[in-house]
Amino acid sequence: MIWLRIFFLALHLFLMNLASVGPLMAIWLDIRARRRDQPAVDLLGRRIGWWSLAALGLGILVGVIQGLLVWWGDGGPAYFDALFAVWQSKVIYGFWEIGFSFVCLAGYLFWWSSSERNALWQRFVSRFLAFLAATNLLYHFPTLFSIVGMIARGEVDVDSPVDSGEFRTLLVQGEVIWFTLHFWFASFAVSGLLAGIACLQRLPEEQREDTAGAAFTIALVPTVLQIPVGFLLTTSLNSGQQSRLMGGDSLCTALFVVSLGLAFWLMHLLAGLAFFERTSNKAYQTLAALGGTILLMTATMLLSRGGL
């Protein structure tokens, strides 16, 4: 059961990474296309936007499957007790926010596809819809489920139901802060890499190198920043989790070491794409390294937490 959970959680995180920052990549390509009069970049930006919308829908579906797997597992009762503890104050609100993000992104894409948006206010308002979609997910998704996990593992002492004031207090916990930043940087890495691959595949030669290089750089910089954030996240974990990572659980430690090695290899590949050789084969190799890193890091996280 745990390995099935690892797979679906890794897939869920990958999809939510794209859903969260994909709209920002679409805005960037939208602006770039208008300023440089590049219709192909405009079409590519819309494609990234639609990918983000599809990723959000699929991410919700995979999240439901993940929830069912948790329910059937040994830690199900504790996790769902924690979920219902914050149900009234944040979970219902969080579901509404996810729906709001979906509507905002869909509105932006339909407006972009059906209108020239010649007026400055039209471009500003339409892009602001995509900005709202992205920031809603970036704020609510990692914080909510990080806090629910901490409650389920008994790492924080709270009274059920958790009110809004107590929830805001939990937001400044070290693990919540660093996990949220970790998710944000991963979202830029996933979205930037996929945008760069799309550039190599779909843009004309005279536009391909410049735009793809910029997209790969967007993926590279936050991936490098994961080094200090990952270290701080590790130091914020409880002693039991740290013990499992540092030799207390041989499988967990082995996966942690391999995932770190793969993460450094990923940085090397992204640097090559950003500054040197940009080929589809190398881009797909980088995507495989990114997927492997997410999968192994997810496995490490779940095993270090005892499945919660």
- Per residue in 84-93, pLDDT (tens digit) is 555 455 556 6
**Domain containing residue 181: CATH number:** 1.20.1630
Res. 76: pLDDT tops 60: no
Per-residue pLDDT, averaged over 252-274, amounts to 94
Distance of CA 282 to CAs 111, 145, 200, 286, Å? 35, 34, 11, 6
Res. 125: pLDDT tops 80: yes
Per-residue pLDDT, averaged over 276-286, amounts to 92
Q: Closest by alpha carbon to 191, among 29, 48, 42, 31?
A: 48
By mean pLDDT, which of 52-61, 83-92, 171-180, 235-244 is the weakest?
A: 83-92
Res. 289: pLDDT tops 70: yes
Query: What's residue 53's pLDDT?
Result: 96
Contact 273, 286 (CB under 8 A): yes
Res. 20: pLDDT tops 60: yes
Peptide bond into 228 cis (omega under 30): no
Contact 203, 212 (CB under 8 A): yes
**Alpha-carbon gap, residue 251 to 244, rounded angstroms:** 9
Query: What's residue 108's pLDDT?
Result: 94
What's the number of domains the chain is made of?
1
Instruction: Indicate the pTM of the whole model.
Output: 0.90
Query: What's residue 308's pLDDT?
Result: 59
**Mean pLDDT for the chain?**
87
* Through-space distance between the first and last CA atoms of the chain, rounded to whole angstroms: 13
By mean pLDDT, which of 105-109, 141-145, 188-192 is the weakest?
A: 141-145
Q: Is 279 exposed, middle or buried (0-12, 13-18, 19+ CB in 10 A)?
A: exposed
* Domain, as residue range, for 43: 2-304
Query: What's residue 50's pLDDT?
Result: 96
Residue, of 83 and 240, whose pLDDT is higher: 240
By mean pLDDT, which of 14-18, 124-128, 133-137, 171-175 is the weakest?
A: 171-175
